[in-house]
Amino acid sequence: MKSSGESIGEAAARFGLDTHVLRHWEDAGLLRPARDGAGRRRFGDDDAVRIAVILRNKAAGLSLEQIRVLLDDDAPDRHRVLEEHVAELDRRAAEIAEARAMTEHALRCRSHDITQCPRFRSHVADVLSGEARWLLLHTEPAGGAVGTALRRRDGAN
C-alpha cells in the first residue's frame, strides 16, 4: 500500500530542486514532513505550500533564517523581520527605478558618449560625490563571464 503524500524525490522534482535542498530546509526547521512506517519522508499539501513560500521568499531576498521566522507563528520578532525586509525591498525598488531612469535616458540621449551628457551625469552624481558606495558581489556567473553585478552598499559590512 502506497503512503499518502509525495516522496522527497517527487517533491524535489515538482519544484525543480535537488533532494538535498529539502533535507537542508528540514534541518533548518523550515519543513517538517511526515514519515511513513519505514521512516521515509512524505510531503503533503501543507509541505508543498511551505516549499512554495520558501522559494518565493528566497526569490524576494529573504535569508533562510528570516524565512524560518516568517513560518514560525510563535516567533516574537516576526514583525521586525518583515518590517526590515519591506524596508530592504523599498531600497531595492528605488535602485531599480533609478537604473530604469538612467537606462531610458541613455536610450533616448542624442549624445553618442553618454558620459558627456550633463543630464545623464545626474544619474551618477551620488557615485561621483562618494555618497553611494558599491560592493562587487559577483564577477563570473556559472557558465562563464557575462558581466559584473554590483550592489549599493549602505555603509554596512
pLDDT at residue 155 greater than cutoff 80: no
Q: Say if residue 46 is in the same domain as residue 28.
A: yes
Q: Say if residue 56 is in the same domain as residue 87.
A: no
Domain interval for residue 131 = 78-153
Count Cβ atoms below 10 Å from residue 22 Cβ, excluding itself: 23
- Distance between CA atoms of residues 6 and 8, nearest Å: 6
Instruction: Give pLDDT, residue 8.
Output: 97
> Does 3 reside within a domain?
no
Q: CA of 33: how far to CAs of 39, 134, 143, in Å?
A: 11, 42, 35
Q: pLDDT digit string (tens) for 43-96?
A: 999 999 999 999 999 998 899 999 999 998 888 888 899 899 999 999 899 989
At residue 119 the predicted structure's pLDDT band, cuts being 50, 70 and 90, is: confident
Average pLDDT, the chain: 82
Q: What are phi and psi of 154, to 5 degrees?
A: -95, 45
Q: Say if residue 38 is in the same domain as residue 82.
A: no
Lowest mean pLDDT among 3-7, 67-71, 132-136: 132-136
* CATH number, domain with residue 22: 1.10.1660.10
Higher pLDDT, 135 or 8: 8
Question: Which candidate, 155, 149, 103, 153, places its Cα nearest to that of 124?
Answer: 103
Task: Return the percentage of the chain with pLDDT > 70, whole number.
Answer: 82
Assessment of whether the complete model's pTM goes beyond 0.75: no
Q: Say if residue 61 is in the same domain as residue 96.
A: no
Instruction: Give pLDDT, residue 109.
Output: 86
Instruction: Give pLDDT, residue 150.
Output: 38
pLDDT at residue 141 greater than cutoff 60: no
Q: Say if residue 86 is in the same domain as residue 27.
A: no
